[in-house]
Amino acid sequence: MSKEQTKPSESLVQDLLTERRQLKVAVERLKIELADAQAAGGGGPDPRVGELREEIERLRYQLASSRAEATRLREERDEMRQGIEKALEQLSAE
């Protein structure tokens, strides 16, 4: 029972960590694109600069949300484990 209860939570945490890594890569890619656009724009700002900045900000927010969700899920998983361990101790004491 304990394995079944922790599997979905651990799977979700892994999914969120994967998503976090992907978002970090996307942020870095957009930073590079932004730097390239600014360097190549010599005659004026690239019209994509504002769009890229907004995308970076959106990805940062999404990354922060994913981090918070992963932390919450870890805490929830740990609480469930503690509850299961306590229940097992009570059962073995009887």
Domains and CATH numbers, the chain: 2-93 (1.10.287)
**Residue 76 confidence (pLDDT) above 90:** yes
- pLDDT tens-digit readout, 17-36: 899 999 999 999 999 988 88
**In angstroms, what is the C-alpha Rg of the chain?**
22
Which pTM was predicted?
0.51
Percent helix, strand, coil in the chain, to 5, is 90, 0, 10
- pLDDT tens-digit readout, 52-66: 899 999 999 999 999
> Which H/E stretch holds residue 19?
helix 2-40
